[in-house]
Structures are given as C-alpha cells and as structure tokens.
Amino acid sequence: MLKNISPLLTPDLLKTLCEMGHGDEIVIADGNFPAHSVNGRVIRCDGLGGAGMLEAILSVIPLDTYAEPNAMLMEVVKGDEAETPIWDEYAEIFRVAEGDNVKLGTIERFAFYERAKTAYAVVATSESALYANLIIKKGVIK
C-alpha cells in the first residue's frame, strides 16, 4: 500500500505509467475490448470500471499539452443505437483533473483498434458500458 496513491493503481500499472514518456499513449479498455489481440502489453484490472480507472490514472500523469486531441473516445458505429452516458462521466473526470488542458476527440472503431496496437499499453477493465474505450496521451510533468 502507498499513501496518497489510488488502490486501483496496481504495482504493474504504476510501473507502466512510470515507464511511459511524454507522447506515449495508454488505452483504457472496456470489458468487451480485444485487449490481448491488439497489444502485447496488457494490464488486467478485472472487476474495475473505466471511470474509476481514468480518475486513478489522471491522479498520477498529466495529459499531453501539445497534442490535439490528447484523449480519444471510440466512436459509435454508424447505425448503432448505443447510448454513451459514460462519456459524460469521462468528461467530468477530465475537467476536474486537467481543466482547460483536455482536448477530447473521437476515433472510428477500427482506427481505434489500429491505434491501440501502437499504444504503450492497454488497461483491460471490466467496464460494461458500451463504447467506453479511450486512449490518453501522456504529457510532461512540470
């Protein structure tokens, strides 16, 4: 246990976040995401949700100031009637953690998978909300 560190940040996840440099990307994946198929570095966080994981990660790393966007949600597939209330939760977490530094965008589903292949790591959660996948780009700690 560590003081002032979220218990959601496992030792493997903390190590991974420390290894990342500015501009590196990390995926926070929902329970349906093919994490092991798209990336060889997967940190399993079974039983945890996306919002809690995002909040925990943003408590120790900043978003990239210069990237546009610096956080990307997986777009809803055209014709899919899925609701995305978790996006509002994510937006509030970003606002509290990063204020005006948030430049949130969306990325088409299959383009998201391709981008996840080049991410530094994928955090596989058990989030059940649809389209709860997101990529964040690490910034510089000043």
Among 10, 22, 52, 65, which one carries the catalytic annotation?
Answer: 22
- Cα torsion 118, 28, 112, 114 to 10°: value is 30
Residue 118 is given by DSSP the state: T
Asked if 109 and 74 touch (Cβ cutoff 8 Å), the reply is yes
- Containing H/E element for 13? helix 11-19
d(CA 141, CA 126): 29
Is 36 a catalytic site residue? no
- Residues annotated as catalytic are 22
